[in-house]
Structure 1
């Protein structure tokens, strides 16, 4: 493990006479002391006077470096790296964190490291953009495996120009950046400055090499004990966010864009108790609930309607929940709303019952779709029998009203393990350690002439997060009200 102390200036650049290193391509600031041409389109950037340049590097208190103990997840990340190393003997592997992404002009989106990078380093919500994890194969048969190094742009001390002149990475702008020694101790990894990293034409790079990309995705199919604990915590915080929404229903109803308030209330919980949302919150009231990924969230929330809320808190570790509840805005389901809701709940319970160790992942779909097809047949909407509709080749008429699947893996991504082979995912078997959703739904769009008018504009989805154990499935989100009676009681209790 490499360490540095405060005097380590590897990779830093001494002040040039102008006050800024002219070769610095990342700077968004003009060179200090330089004149701005009259025809320039640069309107916000200012030069620096000699008085500033002669004093900016002095008068600062000494910063002691205290090396932290390795974070809890570091030991699990080391085991994951060992698995990657064993799968690619003799190959140089590169796992980038990714760059910052521009949102508008000189404003970036909040940085989130690539999921494979976070999984293999344990560096998550506090990771630095443009970092790279590198597996260098060892020479000789006596010492197989890889030497693993984390390359990143460490902090610049106050003798360097980027400290004050570079809004992208300067500490004056974005706050302190970590030193190599602290990161090495924190993550249990050797570290080096990003300037010393050199790519090779023979490198296997995540998102460029199919085999490596697939492997690091499949590595997340089964969660370790740290990951499972994080998933449970993310769900608990998400439950608090749903409680916040239900408690604030009167204010939400009173606002002309109540869906935005739902989104904002949940965001407050996600940011206060976590890192962010794991995905854009769906706050879909009335007919909007029939649009599967409604994230515009600009509609009213009116009594008499249902509101479908699909939301999940992402923790600082980047593990996220993914929960959906459908709530009667006025506190009580109508007869038709309850009929649809209870059909969806029955489908969810059927999928849960089908979830056993060794069962096919596709069995969850089959169980939920069977309930949906039979209920729609019973209501008289289905143009064929339920059995005919369930035929995978000539049928699927029922999917007009449930076009999505019933389940997906969940973890550090909301749709985790997405690059895994189909035979291990959709065609795979359920194994202990897997975390996945069960989320059937029914959606009768406002202009659907194949259903009676009283059904139009009703959308219902119920989504829970499930852990498979050796003894069977565990609903990690069962504490959030699920049955129609419990949801009505929840609204009455929290929003009164």
Structure 2
């Protein structure tokens, strides 16, 4: 390099550093833009906003769930007269850096709007109090859905917003579309802050009391709390008000309506086909070190094909891994002679999920010992199912299942005390081998109605329309010196989804084989398909 060239390069470098020094410091949140430069010229903006074919907006019909969601909102209105209720959908959750998980709205939002799949990030349902009888369906509230509607293609949002822009994530619904689909009034998200905070304050001085569902949207919680502080409302008392709202919305889901039951049936049916896929995948799973992942992947494919997603992370647990209740690493091998416990459920696009467990002999045949333990678990499940009917208590189902397990453990010489002593509250020794509960409510969440009061959940009386699991199991860990060596490494659970009917109960998942003979025949049929292909 000549002296003149070196001097010129040094000057350019110095100038570049000086320019950098003059720039304001960039916020960390903005530095993701450093990987590329977006055109900012007016010529580019004008060109991007032109020459697009008109967007066709067909006539939209109401979702089938719309009338049911309206009935639910009316019940909420009757419970909280004169109060403004805010139910957020929630914001996308960050997986890492600027990569989000696939969005799923809060279950309370879905229950009251009927919107499932990925509707609608940052949205909120606001139930505004009005004179009794003048609101929606003659209630005391008018409900409005606030969300970010589809942007026009001459706006920067269309191409420049990687979170919500149509160029990045696809088209968003219009206000008119969601109004027709849901039966709700709809407004732009830009109007939400005013709708939440206007005339908010203490009831004693003529203000409107606010309640918000917490745990969905931190920004919404901050907005509500700031409004409360600014109007002199006690935050501690308000926390109790918010908790009462979440509690009621959870309890409202204890009894499912006919539309919800139909969605659960669909989720169970898709899950049944997913279990077929699992059996078909067994030969391939045996060929790799992490064969449990092959099983997990087979079911996930079915969930994405027929539903929205998995209802929860699939448990694919072979051998001793089946004694780990929530084994979701799924890193183990699939070995002939062992058992494979799979706990999985398809979540429908409505977000209702199944929750089913089957335990399969990997080679297609149960050994004598495996069949003995399996039949004990099956007997416990059947005994629990037989008592299900309106009027019994939820906890009775668990007590019946675990009593049968205790009887079998005693017959095998494993139980260290009598059955009566074990099932007493001061005993419970049999729970060493089944430490979890037998049942939980099922619906929009795999563990549905989780904020319901104990007196309505565990101590509650069963009613027609309730849906819950029955899932007894026995788990004998490799290291468990309290059981004979031949039992160690066996983990067996059988789980079904149960609907309480007017006269008794229906097993929604009864078509998925359950008995030893049924399971073996099922596996032989599906594995035979593989051999014929």
Query: Is TM > 0.5 for Structure 1 vs Structure 2?
Result: yes
Cα deviation for residue 53 of structure 1 reads 2.1
1:255 corresponds in structure 2 to: 288
Quick check: 320-329 or 156-165, which moved more? 156-165
Q: Residues 238 and 349 from structure 1, CA distance in 2 versus in 1: closer, same or farther, beyond 3 angstroms?
A: same
Alignment of 1:155-174 (within 5 A): 155-174=150-169
Task: Determine if contact 2:45/2:156 at 8 Å carries over to the other structure.
Answer: no
2:16 corresponds in structure 1 to: none
For 1:123-159, what per-residue CA distance to the aligned partner results, in whole angstroms no more than 9, with x for missing partners? 1114110100001001478766001000001111112
Residue aligned with 1:54, SS: helix
For 1:192-211, what per-residue CA distance to the aligned partner results, in whole angstroms no more than 9, with x for missing partners? 01110123363101136111
Task: Determine if contact 2:394/2:457 at 8 Å carries over to the other structure.
Answer: yes
1:230 corresponds in structure 2 to: 263
Task: Determine if contact 2:314/2:345 at 8 Å carries over to the other structure.
Answer: yes
Task: Determine if contact 1:35/1:47 at 8 Å carries over to the other structure.
Answer: no
User: 1:97 is matched with which residue: 89, 92, 99?
Assistant: 89
Q: Which runs of 5 or more structure 2 residues have no equivalent in the other structure?
A: 1-22, 201-208, 215-238, 529-533
1:446 corresponds in structure 2 to: 478
**In 2, Cα distance between the equivalents of 1:176 and 1:45?**
24
Task: Determine if contact 1:67/1:186 at 8 Å carries over to the other structure.
Answer: no
1:361 corresponds in structure 2 to: 394
User: 2:468 is matched with which residue: 419, 436, 448?
Assistant: 436
**In 2, Cα distance between the equivalents of 1:116 and 1:142?**
24
Q: Residues 142 and 285 from structure 1, CA distance in 2 versus in 1: closer, same or farther, beyond 3 angstroms?
A: closer
Q: Verify: 1:480 aligned to 2:472, yes or no.
A: no
User: 1:56 is matched with which residue: 48, 51, 59?
Assistant: 48
1:9 corresponds in structure 2 to: none
**Structure 1 length as normaliser, TM-score?**
0.90
Residue aligned with 2:436, SS: coil
Higher relative contact order (CA 8 A, sep 6+): 1
Task: Determine if contact 1:149/1:191 at 8 Å carries over to the other structure.
Answer: yes
Cα deviation for residue 64 of structure 1 reads 2.4
Higher helix share: 2
Residue aligned with 2:328, SS: coil
1:421 corresponds in structure 2 to: 453
**In 1, Cα distance between the equivalents of 2:86 and 2:183?**
18
Task: Determine if contact 2:133/2:140 at 8 Å carries over to the other structure.
Answer: no
Cα deviation for residue 41 of structure 1 reads 5.2
For 1:151-200, what per-residue CA distance to the aligned partner results, in whole angstroms no more than 9, with x for missing partners? 00111111211111110111110000111000100111100011101233
**In 1, Cα distance between the equivalents of 2:271 and 2:35?**
41
User: 1:242 is matched with which residue: 247, 252, 275?
Assistant: 275
Cα deviation for residue 67 of structure 1 reads 3.0
User: What is the aligned-residue RMSD (CA, Å)?
Assistant: 1.7
Q: Which runs of 5 or more structure 1 residues have no equivalent in the other structure?
A: 1-33
**In 2, Cα distance between the equivalents of 1:140 and 1:148?**
14
User: 2:76 is matched with which residue: 84, 90, 100?
Assistant: 84
Cα deviation for residue 354 of structure 1 reads 1.5
Q: Verify: 1:135 aligned to 2:127, yes or no.
A: yes
2:345 corresponds in structure 1 to: 312
Q: Verify: 1:470 aligned to 2:512, yes or no.
A: no
1:188 corresponds in structure 2 to: 183
Task: Determine if contact 2:406/2:419 at 8 Å carries over to the other structure.
Answer: yes
The count of aligned residue pairs is 461
Q: Verify: 1:455 aligned to 2:487, yes or no.
A: yes
2:211 corresponds in structure 1 to: 204
Cα deviation for residue 470 of structure 1 reads 0.4
Task: Determine if contact 2:129/2:142 at 8 Å carries over to the other structure.
Answer: yes
Task: Determine if contact 1:253/1:301 at 8 Å carries over to the other structure.
Answer: yes
Q: Residues 375 and 77 from structure 1, CA distance in 2 versus in 1: closer, same or farther, beyond 3 angstroms?
A: same
1:120 corresponds in structure 2 to: 112
**In 2, Cα distance between the equivalents of 1:96 and 1:142?**
24
1:13 corresponds in structure 2 to: none
For 1:251-303, what per-residue CA distance to the aligned partner results, in whole angstroms no more than 9, with x for missing partners? 11112111101111101100011110100000000000000000001110110
Q: Verify: 1:45 aligned to 2:77, yes or no.
A: no
Larger radius of gyration: 2
Q: Verify: 1:110 aligned to 2:102, yes or no.
A: yes
User: 1:273 is matched with which residue: 291, 297, 306?
Assistant: 306
Residue aligned with 1:233, SS: helix
**In 2, Cα distance between the equivalents of 1:354 and 1:443?**
24
Residue aligned with 2:459, SS: coil
Cα deviation for residue 485 of structure 1 reads 1.1
Task: Determine if contact 1:326/1:462 at 8 Å carries over to the other structure.
Answer: yes
Quick check: 310-319 or 486-495, which moved more? 486-495
